[in-house]
Chain A
Amino acid sequence: MKIVFYLHLHQPWRLARFRYLDLGSGRSYFDLDRNLGIFRGIAERCYRPAMDRLLRALEGHPEFRVSLSITGTFVEQARLAAPDVIERVRALYRTGRVALVAETFYHSLAFLLPPPELAEEVAMHRELLRSEFGASPKVLRMTELAYSDDLARFAEAERFQGMLAEGWEGVLRGQPPTYRYCAAPAPTVRLLLRHYPLSDDVGFRFSSTSWSEYPLTTEKYVHWIARTPGELVGLFMDFETFGEHHSARSGILEFLSALPDAARREPGLEWASVEEAIQGDPRAPLSVPYTMSWADQNRDLGAWLGNDLQRSAFEAVKKVGVVVRQAADSAILEDWRKLLTSDHFYYMYVSGHGADQGVHQYFSSYDSPYDAYANYMNALTDLRRRALERLGVPILK
């Protein structure tokens, strides 16, 4: 059994409180200090200690492999808040046993917009990985692990050899998630699937004292992996799992350090980067006619576009995109793209009940989804005005 251990690094440009009365004021939509403050805190608790541990693990275990995706907004903030975090990623990449994964620069919902937005953002991100790390990734992941047949066709057109997706029963139809698949409409694109029970054991349940398997030891965990039938197991999770979502007190960092050793002692376990794991014949083609994701109970786009607030905001940002493109102003385009970041829509989630609301509140920087929506719409309305002004269109009011 090969372990594909993939971690996702992302921080959004959170909005400042941009009041309706701030329209036309020229104030920035984004709260630089707050974003960098948050970044520094997470760097201290998570990025630095976890990356140092990964580096030591790679040095001591030639067989160990890690795959990372790093959004453009993460790199932008790291440059300003904690440049040493980028240095650490470089050191990891230099071991030759860390693969970097392509995605949109802005961790955006560009895949739901008309072309050429998605291609441009993926190109921006490819350029970032080349210039910062000297990497040219072969595998693509979409924001929140979104995947569909259309996205596979896009990956093929962009000459990617693999994509990551959720190992969801709904599309596997009885087949195990522990094999390499290929995209039905684009067979050159190999699919690596997230094993969500094993991934969530660490990502969600690790520090839950009410969990029957608490505490999770590395021995127990690698044993579960080893006795899982199949060829590869995708452990895909947020990098912030290690020290942020689960605090250092939970023992999660020690768990990370001990994982390669434990895997070495468990017979039949190997590691593979995403680029190694896509090599070889696929077990079967998979067809996914709708867009699935790795979020919430339904694994769809409900977390971002499930309610009226979210759909209304998305329709609005889509519409503003038309004038933004016409305005052809790089600052306006950049702000618009920062507003496409999926996190803004996630903050507008309302369910009122159920397990998912708790998860959403944890990640939200707002008092309520209504706050998030109003603030977002103010920024967008202001951006639209700027674009129209640039185009010389007189603004009513």
Chain B
Amino acid sequence: MVGWEWPPSHTGGLGVHCFEICKELTRLGHQITFLTPFAGPFTPVDGVTFRFPGESRPGPGPQYPTAYWSGGTADSPFSDAIDGYNHWIRTLDGIDGVDVVHVHDWFGTIGASAVATKLRRPLVMTVHSTEYDRSLGHPWQHILDKELIGIRAATRVIAVSAHLRQQLIDRYSADPKKVRVIYNAVRPSDRLASIGSEKRVVLYVGRLAVMKGVDTFLRAAARVAPIIPDALFVIAGEGPEYGRLVELSAALGIGDRVMFLGKVSDEEREILLSGSSVFVLPSVVEPFGIAALEAMAAGLPTIVSKTSGVAEISSGIFRVDFWDVEEFASRMAELLEYPTLRRTMGEQGRWEALREGWPERARETVAIYEEAIEAYGSRA
């Protein structure tokens, strides 16, 4: 498996996804060699072997970039790191007995497709998000190219939502016959939201990036704040938009009603979820939206933008157009004001979020491996 991040160090959902899916794959009896550009530390999983550049040599690996999308130009050091990673994959020795090469997103597609060709094994690619979406329509060409290399070379492509699948077909000319959808999942948390209580906290958890639509969250909060005087708005996460968002909350006159918590640990996030009344994910672009699924799993009623992948798997959720501040505000107020709504939606959402988990996703992944092996064999 050609990956990128792995817990405990991760900035987005990709690392968690790889960790969870690998764990379940090994439970099903599969063995995984996980390639990553980072030297660890790695949260160990039985059956998963980690390989990284410079692995045989002691000492620190390459610098861990915190936010790759904020990198400067196409020929920045970060771009060099990607090229180095792919070169390392291509020349890697000692990987035998591989049935499938599975690559996540664009980072390692060049190396992964080369390895697949060398080993005469099918390539499977999981797309978690696209460069079009991450860049809000201003993609880096060299990243698009790497995405295209993977999508073209892959025998099967996995998209994390139907919305994303359609995008791969429309924008990347992916063959519809080879693109499948496997949604993300969450593990049940021990802490349950106590939504029956009188707390009035509206929560956002996620990166503070333009595509996350946090300014919509703030503008909606400014509409709700005067109507519901005891409502509090909490934003957990860090990112390049932080300064602008703090300024915006002040300009909107709700500086005293909004709390910016910065980056929170997994445990802190669970505590936040259990202590809030409403979760909002107003992303402009959200291929899946695992943060919303985590909120639902904690029993928290959730509002998401209509384009979020998570909206596809739940009916116990409010869906709003990402630009519709008034509607976001109304949904927040409705959930804060109507306890029966809050409670029943929380229960339904929890049920839907946990109805299927990573074990089901791993089984679906194996089914796609088998499909890919068969399709690859019949082609050869």
Contacts and interface: CB of A to CB of B under 8 A. Distances in A.
B344 A21 contact: no
Given A20-B333, A371-B318, A377-B338, A307 B326 contact: no
B341 A368 contact: no
Interface string B330-343: 11011101101101
B315 A368 contact: yes
Contacts of A308: 340, 343-344
Contacts of B333: 20-21
A367 B337 contact: no
B223 interface: yes
Given A308-B340, A308-B343, A368-B316, A350 B227 contact: no
Contact of A309 (B223, B315, B318, B344): B344
B345 A19 contact: no
Contacts of A397: 227
Contacts of A350: 344, 348
B219 to A, nearest CB: 12
Nearest to A348: B344
Given A21-B329, A370-B341, A370-B344, A377 B316 contact: no
A312 interface: yes
A308 B341 CA distance: 9
A370 B318 contact: yes
B296 to A, nearest CB: 13
A352 B334 CA distance: 22
Contacts of B340: 308-309, 312, 373
B88 interface: no
Contacts of B330: 19-22, 378
Interface size class of B (residues with CB under 8 A): 20 to 34
Given A371-B318, A378-B334, A19 B326 contact: yes
Main secondary structure of the interface of A (DSSP, over half): helix
Indicate the member of A20, A367, A373, A381 with the most B CB atoms within 10 Å: A20
By secondary structure, the B interface counts as: helix
B351 interface: yes
Nearest to B352: A352
A374 interface: yes
Contacts of B319: 367
B80 interface: no
B55 interface: no
Interface string A366-390: 0110110110011001000000000
B230 to A, nearest CB: 12
Nearest to A22: B330
Contacts of B348: 350, 352, 370
Contacts of B227: 20-21, 397
B327 interface: yes
- Ordered nearest first, which 5 A-B pairs have the shortest CB separation? A19-B330, A20-B333, A312-B340, A20-B330, A374-B334
Interface of A: 19-22, 307-309, 312, 350, 352, 367-368, 370-371, 373-374, 377-378, 381, 397
23 contacts: A19-B330, A20-B329, A20-B330, A20-B334, A20-B337, A21-B330, A21-B333, A22-B330, A307-B344, A308-B340, A309-B340, A309-B341, A312-B338, A352-B351, A368-B315, A368-B316, A370-B341, A370-B344, A371-B318, A377-B338, A377-B341, A378-B334, A397-B227
Interface of B: 223, 227, 315-319, 326-327, 329-331, 333-335, 337-338, 340-341, 343-345, 348, 351
